[in-house]
Structure 1
């Protein structure tokens, strides 16, 4: 479902983009590695309570609707923690 996923993200719904911003997420980027078909998401969190902001996002009806379209395009990693949409990664290096 690569082409479907790309098509959806070429025109993300404005309500979804607004919810991402309301949830204090900035500089959100999704990368695709083919032919392995691995997705890597990067964002910067600018809030003070990540868990609460993500819970609010998960309650948003328009975001829930969006996920009904995007989730079937993804196969989550088996090693993700309970409750994670995407498996989180530890930052081990950063430079500006």
Structure 2
């Protein structure tokens, strides 16, 4: 099992909207994520900074990386672009985090 952690940023004043959109995530995106083997996928918010901490468990990095090329993911990025820090291609600005400790 591959464990990935990353951070993103949601714009100040958009926390409730970010939560609302994720509470109603596109069903086709959920399907794509599950088909890619994503499990135990969680996102947490630091309200002080607007920093989001994401965590996901995967079977295969190649399948995970392929998610970004799907129509469902591209549609989601466009939908989220107005409330998050994003790159020119509308993908969220994301920083991978290095694992420093794991208790099994």
On whether the aligned pair clears a TM of 0.5, the verdict is yes
TM bracket, shorter-chain basis: 0.7 to 0.9
List structure 1 segments (4+ residues) > 2 angstroms apart after TM superposition. Answer: none
2:19 maps to 1:6: yes
Q: For each residue in 1:26-62, what CA deviation from the matched residue of structure 2 results, as whole angstroms up to 9, or x when unmatched?
A: 1000000112111000011112xx1x32342122112
Matches within 5 A, 1:1-96: 1-47=14-60, 50=61, 52-75=62-85, 85-96=93-104
Larger RCO, structure (CA 8 Å, separation 6 or more): 2
Secondary structure of the residue that 1:40 maps to in structure 2?
A: strand
SS in 1 for 2:75: helix
RMSD: 2.0
Please, what TM-score do these two structures have when normalized by structure 2? Answer: 0.73
The CA distance in 2 between the partners of 1:3 and 1:84, in whole Å, is 18
Matches of 1:74 and 1:95, distance apart in 2:
32
Q: Quote the Cα distance in structure 1 between the aligned partners of 2:70 and 2:103.
A: 34
**Which residues of structure 2 form unaligned runs of 5+?**
1-13
Higher strand share: 2
